[in-house]
């Protein structure tokens, strides 16, 4: 029987990679593995320093060699993602890379290696014996209720990359048809048909690689107008299946996506005496993304946990401004709205600095990296803006532990610039004026309050960020009767309106009281 060459398969797929095994790590303190590639471009694994198990390690992805033998550096990441199966002081030691498009996806066979700095040298991690990929035909990259960020040009079509894997058993070819339909009108918005060629053997593929098991990957870019909900169906037709297999997504859309960050009033902390301050969006097209579970759901409070729980108080179990803000925006924009919350209660700006290890900055980077679609990413943003609400902790800490004036400006500027460098995306920021602390919690220093607000304002004045709302205008009547600093139910609604006014003014250039 004739054997089709590997290059035939690789030229058919979107991303092309094998990976290499390596010698053991140089020391006994550093452990970890390169677990493999999920789909066609997501590199995964874990590593930790046993002498410093709470600190994330820096890992690098290299192609066709390494730093000492002529390899090509591709990207760098921190091993700071959750890995529940790892026991010990801290289980956040996983890493993920998206294989950059272009250099590693040029239709040729490449080897990939993951390096960690161990005992003074960059050393490649060993390849683990990973399980076979799923054999169920599926759409892996688009999820129920997902909101994709629309293009900056409101009339442009937005690329949505659908990809997945399929078990092909003994079939030599398969046809995949992807169809996107508008749920309201029933009209077909986009359709893509792919014929996938499959090798008859896996001879020559690294035995430790997922490519050593019988599967193929597909990927297609569908260009969609702003709107939704849409539905997507994928139909697989192969010689080994008596009838075509079909998978279906009921709801996803193209609209506006916001990442919210900061401390407790940016997350689900709203509460009051004997009053439930949690809210639920009135419009079904408002979604929230759970970064750790990689799922989308209705943006009802409490919002999904987005910060590393070991680094702060996390989300809280109360209410937030975001469901109400979603309803306010959707009545004005008439498109799906998505939120990703990565804030952490009680966090000061110092705990977000990328130079601090561990840092809440990892939540911002993780949120943006999780939105990347792989191909067709050039010159487009994966979120409309990052909404930053933080400052109360600075007032409560006082100098020198709090950051004020130019120190606050420089600190947040560092966070913003590092995020651009690490993700390759210049997502706009909107920074609120925040310095309110009730006298029942701490005695405010007027000079520090003025300095903090001035430092936040510097970010607008020099063009680094949009001007956000002045939430210090929300006095005691808008605050919790329990702790006097978080919002009550009235405060949740007022907080949302303040954000809506500034978003409409600064981003959409519209004067709107958002009543």
3-state secondary structure string across 198-258: CCCCCCCCCCCCHHHCCEEEEEEEEEECCEEEEEEEEEEEECCCCCCEEEEEEEEEEEEEE
pLDDT of residue 88: 54
Please tell me the total number of residues recorded for the chain in this structure.
Answer: 515
Query: Each residue of 138-177: pLDDT tens digit?
Result: 787 789 999 999 988 877 888 888 877 665 554 556 788 8
Q: Between vectors from CA 454 to CA 451 and to CA 458, what angle results, nearest 5°?
A: 140
242: confidence class by pLDDT, cuts 50, 70, 90: low
Of the candidates 268, 246, 448, 241, the residue with the CA atom closest to the CA atom of residue 345 = 268
CA–CA separation, 284 vs 338, rounded Å? 11
Identify any residues that bridge with 431 across adjacent strands, giving them in sequence order. 388, 467
Q: Residue 51 is encoded by which pair of tokens?
A: 């002498």
pLDDT of residue 367: 86
pLDDT of residue 374: 53
- Average pLDDT of span 420-429: 87
Is residue 9 classed exposed, middle or buried when 0-12, 13-18 and 19+ CB atoms within 10 A define those classes? buried
Q: What is the DSSP letter of 497?
A: H
Query: Each residue of 344-353: pLDDT tens digit?
Result: 998 999 999 9
Higher pLDDT, 477 or 39: 477
- Average pLDDT of span 267-275: 94
CA–CA separation, 314 vs 343, rounded Å? 7
6: confidence class by pLDDT, cuts 50, 70, 90: very low
- Average pLDDT of span 87-106: 64
Of the candidates 233, 272, 280, 271, the residue with the CA atom closest to the CA atom of residue 252 = 233
Higher pLDDT, 3 or 233: 233
Helix axes of 446-461 and 405-423: crossing angle, nearest 10 degrees:
40
Q: Do you find a cis peptide bond into 178, omega within 30 degrees of 0? A: no
Query: Each residue of 367-408: pLDDT tens digit?
Result: 887 787 654 444 567 899 999 999 999 999 887 778 889 999
CATH superfamily, domain at 146-252: Immunoglobulins (2.60.40.10)
- Average pLDDT of span 17-24: 36
CA–CA separation, 409 vs 412, rounded Å? 6
Residue 276 has pLDDT above 60, yes or no: yes
Q: Residue 91 is encoded by which pair of tokens?
A: 């289980």
pLDDT of residue 483: 92
CA–CA separation, 185 vs 263, rounded Å? 42
Query: Which stretches within 204-353 are classed as H helix?
Result: 322-333
CA–CA separation, 47 vs 36, rounded Å? 13
Question: Based on C-alpha coordinates, what's the Rg of the chain?
Answer: 24
Identify any residues that bridge with 34 across adjacent strands, giving them in sequence order. 45, 127
Identify any residues that bridge with 38 across adjacent strands, giving them in sequence order. 42
Q: Residue 177 is encoded by which pair of tokens?
A: 């048809």
Task: Report whether 231 contacts 215 (CB < 8 A).
Answer: no
Which CATH number applies to 255-506?
A: 3.40.50.1110
Residues with Cβ within 8 Å of residue 390, at least 6 apart in sequence: 261, 262, 263, 266, 343, 347, 348, 349, 352, 432, 434
CA–CA separation, 381 vs 368, rounded Å? 10
Task: Report whether 309 contacts 92 (CB < 8 A).
Answer: no
Residue 211 has pLDDT above 90, yes or no: no
Name the segment(s) of the chain with CATH classification 3.40.50.1110: 255-506
- With a pLDDT cut of 70, the percent of the chain lying above it is 76
CA–CA separation, 91 vs 82, rounded Å? 6
Q: What is the mean pLDDT of the chain?
A: 79
Q: Residue 488 is encoded by which pair of tokens?
A: 């009550």
Identify any residues that bridge with 232 across adjacent strands, giving them in sequence order. 180, 249
Helix axes of 322-333 and 489-506: crossing angle, nearest 10 degrees:
40
pTM for this structure? 0.75
Residue 264 has pLDDT above 60, yes or no: yes
CB neighbourhood size of 457 (10 A): 17
pLDDT of residue 213: 38
Residue 89 has pLDDT above 90, yes or no: no
Identify any residues that bridge with 288 across adjacent strands, giving them in sequence order. 297, 339
CA distances from residue 356 to 237, 266, 452 in whole angstroms, order as listed = 52, 21, 21
CA–CA separation, 292 vs 446, rounded Å? 40
Name the segment(s) of the chain with CATH classification 2.60.40.10: 146-252
pLDDT of residue 91: 66
* 65-75 CB burial, b ≥16 within 10 A, e <16: ebbeeebeebb
- Average pLDDT of span 320-332: 98
Query: By mean pLDDT, which of 21-30, 265-274, 280-289, 462-471 is the weakest?
Result: 21-30
Q: Residue 250 is encoded by which pair of tokens?
A: 């009921």
Instruction: Tell me the CATH number of domain 6-127, given options 2.115.10, 1.10.3230, 2.40.160, 2.60.40.
Output: 2.60.40
């Amino acid at each position: 029987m004739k054997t089709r060459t590997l290059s035939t398969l690789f030229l058919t797929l979107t991303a092309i990679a094998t990976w290499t095994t390596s010698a053991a790590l140089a020391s006994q303190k550093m452990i970890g593995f390169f677990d493999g590639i999920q789909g066609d471009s997501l590199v995964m694994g874990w590593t930790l320093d046993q002498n410093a198990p709470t600190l994330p390690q820096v890992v690098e992805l290299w192609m066709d060699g390494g730093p000492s033998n002529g390899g090509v550096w591709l990207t760098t990441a921190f091993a700071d993602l959750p890995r529940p199966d790892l026991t010990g002081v801290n289980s956040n030691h996983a890493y993920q890379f998206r294989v950059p498009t272009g250099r590693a996806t040029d239709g040729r066979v490449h080897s990939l290696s993951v390096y960690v700095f161990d005992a003074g040298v960059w050393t490649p991690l060993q390849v683990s014996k990973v399980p076979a990929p799923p054999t169920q035909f599926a759409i892996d990259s688009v999820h129920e209720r997902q909101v994709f960020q629309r293009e900056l040009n409101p009339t442009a079509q937005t690329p949505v990359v659908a990809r997945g894997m399929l078990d092909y058993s003994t079939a030599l070819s398969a046809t995949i048809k992807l169809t996107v339909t508008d749920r309201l009108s029933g009209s077909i918005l986009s359709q893509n048909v792919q014929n996938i060629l499959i090798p008859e053997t896996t001879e020559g593929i690294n035995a430790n690689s997922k490519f050593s098991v019988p599967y193929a990957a597909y990927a297609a870019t569908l260009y969609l107008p702003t709107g939704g909900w849409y539905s997507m169906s994928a139909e697989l037709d192969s010689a080994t299946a008596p009838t075509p297999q079909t998978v279906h997504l009921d709801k996803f859309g193209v609209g506006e996506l916001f990442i919210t960050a900061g401390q407790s009033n940016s997350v689900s902390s709203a509460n009051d005496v004997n009053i439930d301050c949690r809210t639920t969006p009135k419009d079904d097209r408002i979604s929230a993304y759970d970064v750790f579970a990689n799922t989308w759901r209705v943006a009802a409070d409490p919002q999904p946990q987005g910060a590393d729980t070991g680094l702060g108080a996390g989300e809280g179990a109360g209410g937030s401004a975001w469901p109400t803000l979603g309803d306010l925006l959707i009545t004005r924009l008439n498109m799906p709205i998505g939120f990703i919350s990565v804030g952490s209660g009680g966090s000061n700006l110092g705990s977000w600095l990328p130079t601090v290890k561990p840092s809440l900055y990892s939540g911002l980077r993780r949120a943006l990296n999780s939105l990347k679609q792989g191909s067709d990413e050039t010159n487009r943003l994966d979120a409309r803006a990052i909404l930053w609400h933080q400052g109360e902790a600075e007032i409560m800490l006082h100098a020198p532990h709090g950051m004020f004036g130019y120190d606050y400006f420089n600190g947040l500027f560092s966070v913003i610039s590092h995020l651009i460098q690490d993700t390759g995306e210049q997502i706009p920021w909107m920074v609120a004026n925040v310095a309110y602390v009730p006298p029942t919690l701490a005695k405010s220093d007027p000079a520090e309050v003025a300095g903090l607000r001035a430092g936040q304002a510097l970010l607008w004045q020099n063009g680094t960020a949009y001007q956000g709302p002045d939430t210090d205008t929300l006095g005691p009547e808008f605050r919790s009767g329990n702790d006097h600093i978080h919002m009550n139910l009235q405060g949740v609604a007022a907080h949302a309106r303040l954000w809506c006014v500034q978003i409409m003014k600064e981003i959409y250039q519209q004067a709107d009281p958002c009543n």
